[in-house]
Structure 1
Amino acid sequence: MVLFGTPIETVYLTTLIIAGILTILFLFFGDILEGIGEMFGFFNPVLILAFLTFTSASGYILESVTTLNSILILIISILFGLLLVTLLNIFILIPMSSAEESLSYTEESLKGRVGKVIISIPENGFGEVVIESKSGRISKPAACYENKIIQEGQQVLIINVEKGVLYVESYENNLDIHQLS
């Protein structure tokens, strides 16, 4: 089949190369295009580029390997592209958009949290505290805020953080979990 005076294989290959280049550019300059995507709710550059890539790649492969009619190959390629883009959207893009933007933490965000001593904190010395959160566990060196001994296994309240060291106080949680239910 010839399209615009060019063999259809060349059209598929050219579309594949252009979509690949645009995908790479989108990786570097995606924030600019995200603004365009916000303007139009249905316009998602990632899905459009993926559709063009999948459709042109499958069309080129089918034209090269099979002897099917070019119209049938185009229909199969479009259906294949739609299927893969749907799967990409449902299983990758939607879960990623609802995930936390960052799993990192700042020293300032640790203040006021409760942790557990895993290495005893001696008087005027350092031990280690682990803090559990939804994103995992954070283990940091710790010292007692009032230079007292804090034994392993005790809960502590983080008062301050300086140069990566947690300054903590003993913390007693008087609220029984069974009282809440």
Structure 2
Amino acid sequence: MEQLFWGCLAFGVLFTLVTVVLGDLLSSALDGALDFLSLDFLNPTVLAVGITVFGGAGIMLVQYTAIPALLAAVAAVAIAAVIGFLVGRYYVKPMKNTENSTAYTMKGLSGRLGEVITSIPTGGCGEVLVKVGAGNSNHIAESFDGSAIQAGDRVVVVDVRDGVLFVSRFENNL
């Protein structure tokens, strides 16, 4: 029974190392071929943790307690299930919900604040710097009401048409 525990511990550690080193490469190579296996408890991280904990707990129970090997295996399964559940619930699930993207749509810029970096003349175009996520993005802009807006003025994006931001001066009266 001890060989089974050592094998599971070694497999879990190797699986974890391979996943960390080759995870992105394998993920792009398979390109969603295994998406039908999307049950939370079949998550590779949870499985690797469960197998590793089963092996480690089994080794510790056999070597440091006087309980029989079969009872140690049952206890190791229970410990692995609890730890696997906790990792899935409090690590994997929250991390899945925090995936972040730097992508944005032009229509999504409506309502955002920006700063004019190239003056917008009456009836003409200028350039606006808009904060998007952790960075900034420059866009061609026109005045929404046709009036001139000077460089350095704060503006709000009112509309987006054909890739051009239509902006108005932002007046903070607080």
**Are the counterparts in 1 of residues 8 and 54 from structure 2 also a CA contact under 8 Å?**
no
**Are the counterparts in 2 of residues 55 and 77 from structure 1 also a CA contact under 8 Å?**
yes
Going from structure 1 to structure 2, the CA distance change for 1:120 and 1:149 (only over 3 Å counts) comes to farther
- The alignment partner of 1:126 has SS state of strand
- The alignment partner of 1:105 has SS state of coil
**Are the counterparts in 1 of residues 119 and 127 from structure 2 also a CA contact under 8 Å?**
yes
**What letter is aligned with 2:82?**
L
Going from structure 1 to structure 2, the CA distance change for 1:144 and 1:49 (only over 3 Å counts) comes to closer
CA distance in 2, matches of 1:83, 1:43: 12
Going from structure 1 to structure 2, the CA distance change for 1:81 and 1:121 (only over 3 Å counts) comes to same
> Is residue 110 from structure 1 mapped to residue 116 from structure 2 by the alignment?
no
Count matched residues: 150
User: Residue 18 of structure 1 aligns with which residue?
Assistant: 11
CA shift, 1:105, in A, is: 1.1
Identity of aligned residues (%): 15
CA shift, 1:120, in A, is: 4.8
Please list every run of at least 4 consecutive aligned residues from structure 1 whose deviation after the TM superposition is greater than 4 angstroms: none
Q: CA RMSD in A?
A: 3.6
CA distance in 1, matches of 2:41, 2:11: 19
Which runs of 5 or more structure 1 residues have no equivalent in the other structure? 1-7, 162-166, 173-181
User: Residue 88 of structure 1 aligns with which residue?
Assistant: 87
Q: Scaled by the length of structure 2, what TM-score is found?
A: 0.62
User: Residue 156 of structure 2 aligns with which residue?
Assistant: 155
Which runs of 5 or more structure 2 residues have no equivalent in the other structure? 170-174
Going from structure 1 to structure 2, the CA distance change for 1:12 and 1:50 (only over 3 Å counts) comes to same
CA shift, 1:87, in A, is: 0.6
* Higher relative contact order structure (alpha carbons within 8 Å, sequence separation ≥ 6): 2
What does the per-residue CA deviation read over 1:143-170, in whole Å, with 9 as the maximum and x for residues that have no partner? 3347964352221233354xxxxx4222
